[in-house]
Structure formats: C-alpha cells, structure tokens
A and B are shown apart, each in its own frame.
Chain A
C-alpha cells in the first residue's frame, strides 16, 4: 500500500480525515461552551453564597471552591462518568429496568466541566464584584430597587465587565479540560485523532493536527475575548 502524504491524510479527499476532524472540532467547541455556561451558572450561585451567605452557606461555598480546585479534573470526570451511570442504574431499577444504563458522554462531560469551572468562575465573579463601587449599590438601594432589579441593572452588567479577563482565562482552562472528556468516549477532537491514529498508524500526524486545531481555537477565542474586553470598557476612563 502506498503511503499517503500528510495532506492527503488530513485533507477532504476519499482517504482524508478532514471532515471527521472538523466535526470533532465542532464537538470540542460545543462541549466546552456547554460546560462553560454550566460553570457560569454554578459560579454565580457560589459567588453569591460567598458574598451574601450566612456562615454556613459561606463555608460551604468556600469548601466547594477549595475542593474542586484542589483535586484533579480527571477524577471529577470519572466520578460523573461512572457515578452518573450507577445513579441512573439505581433509579432505573426502581422502575424495573435491568442492567447498565449509560449517561450520554456529552452530558457527563459538560456537567463535569461545569462543576470544575464553576469553582474558578466563582472566584472570578467574586473578585469582579468587589470592584463594583459600594456607592452605586447604596444609590440603587436608596432609589428603592429590589434585590433582583439591582442585580439585573447594577450588579450583573458591571461584574460582567470586570470579569471578562478572568472569564477569558477560565475559558482557556475549559477548552483544554475538554480534551479530558475523550476518556469517556465522546468523539471530540482528541478522541477522533486517537481513532484516526489507530486506524492509519500515523499517530504523530493526527496528534500534531489536533494540537494545531486546538491552537487555532485558543487563538481565535483570545482575540474574541480581547474584542469583548475593549468593547465593554469603552465607557471607562482608566489610569495611565
């Protein structure tokens, strides 16, 4: 058999893996975005607990961020992957179902990423909240805004503005963490490269392609976050 050239291998021709790799890149982006958004929801509530909670809630929130930032992400993914199936199996057996019920790998992955990145995003949101001027919060309260209205009109827009750089860093973490989801069998970029490497016996070519595609995603998202940051800061006068 004649050896395919690198570009035939990753191209879109009859023997090329181009479409498979592009689809898998889309899957990586999709699972990363879902995980990131799940993390934003978790992070918002945890940050709220850290800022406004009573002693019990605050120590729970502190414990959450300490624990989730102190243990490997891979362990969390294993917990969701194996633990989720076990939990579903237990629920299923209540309704008379038999045997192993698998959780969809996409849901497992997005949830695991969300739980981990929620811990990081909580710290980002908390830091950003501290920049919001106390006077504005008092002013909002003095004109009679309720908590939800104050959150929507005063807190959320400003916290988001100051959180953008931190969120950008967290997004990069999430993107790289999404590669770990490949252990659950979700066909994202790394998994697809693994499959292609196995079937063509050209592992280096495919992993280097995966690395390049990850770099492209990183590069584009860095650019987008920079755009978002300068857009959100357009009304702010800065020192220097």
Chain B
C-alpha cells in the first residue's frame, strides 16, 4: 500500500465526480418525466397505450444497459447520412448525449414500475373521501394521489437513484472521463489496481452515502403522520415552587 499514491489518486479521481453527478442527475430527472408518462400509459386502461408501455419496459429491463449504450452510440452511426439530414447527428455524435439518452431510457423503464406501484398503493377510500369533498381531476391528483404515491414510492426510487449513480460508470466505456473512466486510465498507467480500486470505491461509497441520507431526510419530511407529536415540555421551574 502506497498511501501517498492513494492520496494523489484520490484528488485525481475527485475530478471525475462532477461528470458522474451530472450524468446521474440529468438521466434521473429526464427519466422521471418519461417514467411518469409510461406509468400513466400503463394505468390508462387503453390497450393501445398500455401495450406499448409494457413492451418498452420489457425491452429496456431485459437487455443490458451496455448494449443500449452501444446501440445508441455506435449503432446509430450506421444511419449517419439520415441523421445528418435530420440535423440530429450533432446530438448523437457526442458521447455525453448518447450516455444521457441511454441512461434516461433505461431508468425510465425501471422507474415507471416504481411509480406505478406507488400510484396503485393509494388507498381507494382516500380517493373516495376526496371526491366526496368535491375534488376531481387534477386537483385530486395534485393534493391526494400524488403526495401519497410519492411517499410510498420514495424508498424504491431511492435505490433506483443509487443504481443510476453506479450505472454512470458505463459511460466510461464510450470515452466519458468520469470517476470510473479516470480510475481505468490511472490503473493502466500505474498498474496499481488495488489502490486505485479502493480510492474509486471510496468515492462512490461517499456519494451513495450522501444520496441515501438526502432521500432519508426527504422521507422523514414527507411522513410527519408517522412521527410522535412533539411532547410539550413541562416547565421545570414550576416543579420547585
């Protein structure tokens, strides 16, 4: 173990953290929108909407993410003239956008099932009570269904976000220099696999630890009904009078 080397590589690898977080944030945010759409399609009750969403989820959950990344980054190159004609080539030429697109499409498939589970877990009597109060449509969704569904889905969504942070490492295979990319480069330069592995692993563990804490805090904030009401402190000085 060479601790000076490990300290140096820690600072080298820290340079990859912004890109890792950027990829994870972009794909989780865009993926959430797509996932919401897919979940609504699956719950719409129309077969013409339900089946495409089901097929989408089956395909993207059943194939490795790396295949999806290659399909977008290398595969679409086969249609380069067409894409250039449509003006999309500048987008698909960039490994960054290909990685974001692949990660987004992938996480949307997993997240749509999580969101669907959350929406279906909303107790029906809550919806009935809201209707009895005269709520309907978007107001009902915004005030009753959505908050309860989010609360239910948040733990599972949290692990999906952690999985996405881990999945950004695959972007290194298409030349993105995030933490894993820098680590691979460092290993092939120094041949010190174990030291670099420990340092890179540590960075990912710290990132994931922080993210789980944030999600736990949001969970805590969203579920005041599960906490005991704050006890009213008896006034101490009164006891001695």
Contacts and interface: CB of A to CB of B under 8 A. Distances in A.
Interface stretch (B73-81, B121-129, B131-139, B215-223): B73-81
| Residue of A79, A193, A215 contacting most chain B CB atoms (<10 Å) | A79
Contacts of A78: 180, 183-184, 187, 193, 197
A183 B69 CA distance: 14
B208 interface: yes
A86 B168 CA distance: 27
Given A67-B205, A215-B62, A194 B75 contact: no
Interface in A160-206: 172, 175-180, 182-183, 190, 193-194, 197, 201-205
Contacts of A4: none
Contacts of A83: 193-194, 197
Interface of B: 58-59, 62-68, 70-71, 74-79, 162, 166-170, 172-173, 180, 183-184, 187-188, 191-194, 197, 200-201, 204-205, 208-209
Nearest to A83: B193
A207 B162 contact: no
Contacts of A70: 162, 166, 201, 204-205, 208-209
Given A71-B205, A78-B184, A203 B74 contact: yes
Interface in A51-85: 66-67, 70-76, 78-79, 81-83
A76 B61 CA distance: 22
24 contacts: A70-B208, A71-B201, A72-B169, A74-B172, A75-B200, A78-B184, A78-B187, A78-B193, A78-B197, A79-B197, A82-B188, A176-B63, A177-B64, A179-B66, A190-B67, A201-B78, A203-B70, A204-B75, A207-B75, A210-B67, A211-B59, A211-B63, A211-B67, A219-B62
A214 interface: yes
A218 interface: yes
A205 B74 CA distance: 11
Contacts of B208: 70
Given A78-B184, A79-B197, A211-B68, 8 more contacts: A71-B201, A71-B205, A72-B167, A75-B169, A201-B78, A204-B76, A211-B71, A214-B62
A72 B204 contact: yes
Residues of B contacting A: mostly = helix
Contacts of B180: 72, 74-75, 78
Nearest to B195: A83
Nearest to A182: B66
A82 B66 CA distance: 21
Interface of A: 66-67, 70-76, 78-79, 81-83, 86, 172, 175-180, 182-183, 190, 193-194, 197, 201-205, 207-208, 210-211, 214-215, 218-219
Nearest to A68: B201
Contact of B197 (A66, A75, A193, A194): A75
A203 B75 contact: yes
Contacts of B204: 70-72, 75
A215 B184 CA distance: 30
B201 A74 contact: no
> 3 tightest CB-CB pairs across the interface, nearest first?
A72-B169, A83-B193, A179-B64
Given A67-B205, A71-B166, A75-B204, A214 B197 contact: no
Contacts of A179: 64-67
Contacts of A204: 71, 75-79
A82 B183 CA distance: 12
Contacts of A203: 70, 74-75, 77-78
Given A75-B183, A176-B65, A202 B205 contact: no
Contacts of B200: 71, 75
A107 to B, nearest CB: 16
